[in-house]
Amino acid sequence: MNAIISASELASDLTGANPSVLLDVRWQLSMAKAAGAPPFDGRAEYAAGHIPGAVFVDLDRELASAPGEGGRHPLPDVAEFGAAMRRAGVSSGRPVVVYDGGQGWAAARAWWLLRWTGHPDVRVLDGGLARWEGPLSTEVPTPAPGDFAPAPGAVGLLDADAAAALARSGVLLDARAGERYRGEVEPIDPVGGHIPGALSAPTTDNVAPDGRFLPAEELHARFKALGAADGTEVGVYCGSGVSAAHEVLALAVAGIPAALYVGSWSEWSSDPQRPVAVGPDPR
């Protein structure tokens, strides 16, 4: 099953006999405090207009637990995540489509969590709400409660030790911008640089200028050039496990399974005992 769905396919899906549950996960990594601007408010964006029938999901509160030793966006409590998904109408026997404003990072985080907890049919709207050509609604739906019961472990998950080991034995991709990987800038976390052995693979290079993913064959060629093919074990991390989920999604589109290091650099860099590499060389 394809991990993404086009806007036209979604429009057709929503008129079918078993329409997908729609989740709106608009979110942005906030630099507002440093810039002096108000923080991005996904709920306000949702209230101003969303795809009819979509339920808002709060990434910071429902797709992650509180920041701490596990990073800025640690895994949510599984029971609480399951309850949030059931409130949104998610059931194991009904497909789910997730979208955000267009960047794709937040939608990919929801996609990954649902896949990790065992949902068999989840897709991301390719290009997000920016590609939707249908009507928008300000009506907040009240879906019938779903029956989704999360069963963690359906897809790969890495902790810090496993990520370090994979950087030596397989392929560990760093989905952040190249300058953060090289340690030239670090606007959020305490230390700049990357996990020794990790390869720079910015997730922004997986999409076209309109925000949609590159064709599967192009993605496959890109990841193969990085060594992520032919049965090699692959893992991905970023700053806090959000943009890395988008790269795991790109790998899925390319037909390459990959594990996610959820704690990512925000967890790794919080421990001064962990090694840090800087510059363009992986090690």
Instruction: Enumerate the H helices of 93-183 as residue ranges.
Output: 105-116, 160-169, 178-181
Residues 6 or more apart whose CB falls under 8 angstroms from that of 268 comprise 160, 163, 195, 237, 274
The tokens describing 192, both together, are 């700049």
C-alpha to C-alpha distances, 54 to 109, 136, 170, nearest whole angstrom = 17, 10, 39
* Main-chain phi, psi angles of 199, to 5 degrees: -105, 140
Residue 84, classed as helix, strand or coil, is: helix
Cα-Cα-Cα-Cα torsion 204, 159, 120, 250, nearest 10 degrees, comes to 20
Please tell me the distance from the alpha carbon of residue 283 to that of residue 51, in angstroms, as a whole number.
45
- The catalytic residue among 238, 245, 248, 250 is 238
HEC secondary structure over 193-247: CECCCCEECCHHHHECCCCCECCHHHHHHHHHHCCCCCCCCEEEECCCCCHHHHH
Q: 238 an active-site residue?
A: yes
Catalytic residues: 238
